[in-house]
Amino acid sequence: MTMALWGTAIIADDADVTTAQGPIVVQPADDDDPTIVTLGEEQGDPLLIEPFELIDQNGETFSSEELVGHPWVASFIFTKCAGYCPMLVRDMKLEVADRVKDPEVRYVTITVDPDYDTPEKLKQYADVYAVDAEKWKFLTGDKETIYRIIQHGFKVPVFEMEGEDRRPGFEVAHSLSLIHVGPDMRVIGKYDSRESGEVLSLRRVLNGQIETPEENLPITSVPDAEAEVDDQQTESPALQIVEAPAQVEEKQLPDWAARLPTTNAMLNGLATVLLMLGFIAIKMRKERVHKRLILMAFATSIAFLGCYLTYHFALHHYTGTHGKSFEGTGGARTAYFAILISHVLLAMAVPVLALITIYRAFREQWAAHRRIARVTFPIWLYVSVTGVIIYGMLYHWPNG
């Protein structure tokens, strides 16, 4: 059976099932003498990844022999994916590749849509995340070969969507697992890329801080095409299988801590309302009402600060992470960080400005009070409003 993409693979299934399988080779399409390879129906060692050759993002042949002697992590994506794939690669880059200290670790990301994902498209995709091309390979090749590697080697599901479930950006259902493979090419662990705690565990394993957790030990059976739906990228409108990313870290926190982000947003919203009412009151020359409202806004902001610090302390204590990552991409991501950076910088000034403004009012230094209030009020209001916006983007994007 032959299949042309950028290459051709010919597979014979008549090998002794007890022997190790020979390599799967993808040849350039214009090669008149493609390599014939032999595969057993089952591997002697169910955890051993069969040798393979695919094409990397630079258009060069990549052999799995280059991974022998290196611990490595495999993942599966496609560049048209409108679901979790971009977040998977981002988290792999920021939470694993950038923070693993062992220089021997390698990363392999295999497309599940090789008909579309040419080496050029994979290179563009990899460049977006500024990956180290020497250590991180994005691979494509023959679809049948790739699906066999994923299903029989890594033992995770992959299949094409059909009918009304086949929507733009959701053409392929595939595993969202990160597969940890040892230097001997045997699978060591399987981690859910959507779970921040599991990504953290993978990083700790790669850094030699812990052994593979029991819940992440690999399975040895080949999955059915429709099996393990909780592990698949099937986020079409008709199949809401993938869990909302905003809920991932909350599962690892006590209930009281998981509720704090919402509490913080409510406190910021309340501070916004109190500030606006205080502004209206002073414009109507209702000084006493203005004073009470501003003091209530200040107390609300102090309560927010306490809850904010408590949440991040709990987050680090229970999950080992310092904060939640934004799930959006492109322009939304740029807007988020523009708002976040300005919010953080101005938030540092609010306590000082508010205290000085309130102090001058109590001292009845009205001229000085009015001068600084003209600076304090817009900054304080901006910080309160953007606090609510950041919460919405961080915890309800894109599924909120």
| Residue 122: predicted pLDDT | 96
Q: Provide φ and ψ at 188, rounded to 5°.
A: -105, -40
The secondary structure element, H or E, covering residue 122 is helix 119-128
| Residue 232: predicted pLDDT | 54
The model's confidence at residue 384, banded by pLDDT at 50, 70 and 90, is very high
| Residue 141: predicted pLDDT | 96
| pLDDT digits 0-9 by tens, 22-34 | 444 444 444 455 4
* Residue with more model confidence, 390 or 325: 390
Q: How far apart are CA 142 and CA 8, in angstroms?
A: 7
- For the stretch 213-218, contacts whose Cβ atoms lie closer than 8 Å and that sit 24 or more positions apart, written own/partner, are 213/189, 216/180, 216/189, 216/190, 216/191, 217/189, 217/190, 218/47, 218/155, 218/179, 218/187, 218/188, 218/189, 218/190
Q: 12-16, 65-69, 121-125, 296-300: which has the minimum mean pLDDT? A: 12-16
Give 228-240 as a DSSP string: -GGGB---STT--
Q: How far apart are CA 347 and CA 123, in angstroms?
A: 40
Q: How far apart are CA 171 and CA 194, in angstroms?
A: 20
Residue 271, both tokens: 């501070």
9 within 8 A of 143, measured Cβ to Cβ: no
Q: Which residues of 302-323 are buried (b: 16+ CB within 10 A; e: fewer)?
A: eebeebbeebbebbeeebebee
Tell how strand 36-38 and strand 10-12 pair up: parallel
State the Cα angle at 70 between 67 and 72, rounded to 5°: 80
Q: Measuring CA to CA, which residue among 189, 198, 158 is closest to residue 175?
A: 158
| Residue 40: predicted pLDDT | 41
Q: 26-35, 66-75, 337-346: which has the minimum mean pLDDT? A: 26-35
Q: How far apart are CA 323 and CA 189, in angstroms?
A: 25
Average pLDDT rounded to a whole number, residues 288-294: 97
Radius of gyration of the chain (CA): 27
| Residue 318: predicted pLDDT | 76
* Residue with more model confidence, 378 or 26: 378
SS3 sequence of 11-70: EECCCCCCCCCCCECCEECCCCCCCEEECCCCCCCCCECCCEEEECCCCCEEEHHHHCCC
- What's the chain's length in residues? 400
The model's confidence at residue 324, banded by pLDDT at 50, 70 and 90, is confident
pLDDT at 388 over 70: yes
Count of other CB atoms within 10 angstroms of residue 185:
20
pLDDT at 193 over 90: yes
Give 327-352 as a DSSP string: ---HHHHHHHHHHHHHHHHHHHHHHH
Task: Determine the angle formed by the axes of helices 366-395 and 260-283, rounding to 10 degrees.
Answer: 150
Domains for the chain: give ranges and CATH numbers: 7-243 (3.40.30.10), 252-395 (1.20.120.80)
Average pLDDT rounded to a whole number, residues 358-371: 95
Residues above pLDDT 70, as percent of the chain: 78
Q: 86-95, 188-197, 235-244, 278-287: which has the minimum mean pLDDT? A: 235-244
Q: How far apart are CA 181 and CA 208, in angstroms?
A: 14
SS3 sequence of 134-163: CCEEEEECCHHHHHHHHHHHCCCCEEECCH
The model's confidence at residue 168, banded by pLDDT at 50, 70 and 90, is confident
Residues above pLDDT 90, as percent of the chain: 63
Count of other CB atoms within 10 angstroms of residue 159:
18
| Residue 84: predicted pLDDT | 87
Q: Provide φ and ψ at 162, rounded to 5°.
A: -135, 160
**Helix residue ranges per DSSP H, 190-329:** 196-206, 255-258, 260-283, 287-319
The model's confidence at residue 220, banded by pLDDT at 50, 70 and 90, is low
The model's confidence at residue 272, banded by pLDDT at 50, 70 and 90, is very high
